Each structure stands twice: as structure tokens, then as C-alpha cells.
Amino acid sequence: MTKEGKKPHYVGMAGLHGYMPQYLGSFESHELAVESLSQVHELGKRRTAELRRDGYLELNLHRDGNEYCEISECDCNDIDSHNA
């Protein structure tokens, strides 16, 4: 919980640089966001570990279908506001 009593959550996204994300999801934990992005992009152990550690990973558009994926922490009141 944060000082304001809000529980932080995590926003996972992936897409092309300079455009709205093609993939966007909200998660109750950082690990759930990592698992989701890892599965969607079939990252493997090494790249999953990099995403877990850094919260950001450059992807290969031809191999992965996106140019990047990232995870951001958020403490807004509505975790579902991030889901379209």
C-alpha cells in the first residue's frame, strides 16, 4: 500500500516505437506482468530475466511482432482503467 492507501499495480505494454501500444494489460503484480509479456512474445529464460530486472526490453519486430515491451508501476484508483 502507498501512503494514500492505494495498492500499486502494474501496466504491461508492447508495440511499435512512436505508436499506441498494440498490447496493453494491467496486473496485480510485477511478476504477473512479466509472465504475460513473456508468453505473448515467447521470450525465453534470458529475455524474460532481462524484462523482470529492467522492466523494459527491446524486441525484434520480425521475430517478436513488436519493437519493445515494458512494465510500469501505477497507483491510480482503478486498475481496470488501463484495459480497453
Tell me the β-bridge partners of 68.
15, 58
Burial readout 50-71 (b: 16 or more C-beta within 10 A, e: otherwise): ebbeebebebeeeebbbbbbbb
Cβ–Cβ under 8 Å, residues 70 and 52: no
Indicate yes or no: pTM above 0.75. Answer: yes
Residue 3 confidence class, pLDDT cut points 50, 70, 90: low
Q: What is the pLDDT of residues 29-77, one digit of tens each?
A: 999 999 999 999 999 999 999 999 999 999 999 999 999 999 999 888 7
Cβ–Cβ under 8 Å, residues 34 and 71: yes
